[in-house]
Chain A
Amino acid sequence: NAGVTQTPKFQVLKTGQSMTLQCAQDMNHEYMSWYRQDPGMGLRLIHYSVGAGITDQGEVPNGYNVSRSTTEDFPLRLLSAAPSQTSVYFCASSYGTSGTGELFFGEGSRLTVL
């Protein structure tokens, strides 16, 4: 019963490097989203998707790209990492397409940009 799986769990990057945070869910959820968590800022929505081929921006989309080629996967790409992107990233999924249901979260990915 995997649920939402995020990889890697930890990553250290140098400024300017690129990387992809992977997210996969096995619950056949249409709705998927990415959040970042910073001290005192709570969870801020980066991007979300309501199904394969459909993505939209959240509160803090700059510096991040996403795509949704399958229902199961929703990778988050950092094209040129900056120290301001040091954070803990959470992927989440939910049933339906409205984004009004319970979110199931992955365990998080801690990213440090030097």
Chain B
Amino acid sequence: AQKVTQAQTEISVVEKEDVTLDCVYETRDTTYYLFWYKQPPSGELVFLIRRNSFDEQNEISGRYSWNFQKSTSSFNFTITASQVVDSAVYFCALSEAEYSSASKIIFGSGTRLSIRP
């Protein structure tokens, strides 16, 4: 069964520090999709990135970068030069796409990131 583990429950760093949020996943499929979502204190859920299992290229978007490593089943998220506005709960999610025609999108338990001024 598919599973997502975010072992870091809470992280607190000082502004401008770099921070990495870990995500480890389990799946039997060779075709799957990984996601990151952000939930700021206001409560809405915001999509950040989607990556399929055949694309292991790292991605960078401004201060955000993602490192996908199939060998370790990890899809880690790094924020460079963190800012107070980055304070949020971050969720990693997994969708399998091989053995079923309609996939469940399963989320990890989230990492609460606090950026101190």
Contacts and interface: CB of A to CB of B under 8 A. Distances in A.
**Interface size band for B:** 20 to 34
Interface in B83-109: 91, 93, 95, 97, 101-109
B33 interface: yes
Contacts of A58: 104
Given A43-B91, A90-B45, A98-B97, A103 B105 contact: yes
Contacts of A41: 109
B103 A99 contact: yes
A40 interface: yes
Interface string B33-72: 1010100000111010010100000000000000000000
Contact of B35 (A48, A50, A102): A102
Interface string A81-114: 0000000101010100111111111011000000
Contact of A35 (B35, B47, B107): B107
A29 B108 CA distance: 24
Interface residues of A, number: 30
B102 A102 contact: no
9 contacts: A33-B105, A42-B107, A43-B91, A45-B107, A48-B104, A100-B105, A102-B47, A103-B37, A107-B43
CB-CB nearest 7 A-B residue pairs: A99-B103, A42-B109, A43-B107, A105-B45, A50-B102, A100-B33, A102-B47
Interface of B: 6, 9, 33, 35, 37, 43-45, 47, 50, 52, 91, 93, 95, 97, 101-110
Interface of A: 31, 33, 35, 40-45, 48, 50, 54, 56, 58-59, 88, 90, 92, 94, 97-105, 107-108
